[in-house]
Amino acid sequence: MPYCQNCGSQVAQDAKYCPYCGTKLEKRFTEEFSIAANELIKKVEELIHEGNVTRIIVKDEAGKTLLEIPVTVGIVGAILAPWLAALGVIAALATRCKIVVERKIE
C-alpha cells in the first residue's frame, strides 16, 4: 500500500487524496527486495542515490517494520548518518531483511 507523502499514513492504492490530512497524492509504486542483512546498508545507499525513491521501509523476515526512512531530494551524509547507524544495528540483529522501496512515477 502507498503512503501519504505529507503525514505518512497508509492510503488506498487508487486514492487521489489522503483521507487523514487531505493532501493530493502523487502517483507512486513500490518494489520489494529480500536481501541478507550484511548487504542491507550497501543496498539502501544504492537506492538513495538513484534519485526517484521517496521512502524506504526495512522489514524483518516476519514482515514487521523495523525502520522507515523518508528519502528527500538532497539528502546528504550528515542527515544520512543516523539512519545508516540504525541500519547497522538491524543488520547485526537480523539474518535476512526485506526492503520495500516506494518510488515516484514521473
Using one digit for the tens of pLDDT, what is the confidence trace for 34-53?
888 788 878 888 887 777 78
At 41 the pLDDT is: 79
Widest distance between CA atoms in the chain = 39
pLDDT tens by residue, 49-100? 777 788 888 888 888 888 888 776 455 555 666 767 777 777 767 778 888 8
At 21 the pLDDT is: 92
Among 2, 19, 9, 7, CA closest to 105: 2
At 102 the pLDDT is: 83
Among 78, 61, 60, 58, CA closest to 69: 58
Confidence check: pLDDT of 31 > 70: yes
- Whole-Å CA distances, 85 to 63, 64, 88: 21, 19, 5
DSSP string over 52-78:
-EEEEEEE-TT--EEEEEE--TT--HH
At 72 the pLDDT is: 66
Domains assigned to the chain: 29-104 (3.30.1490)
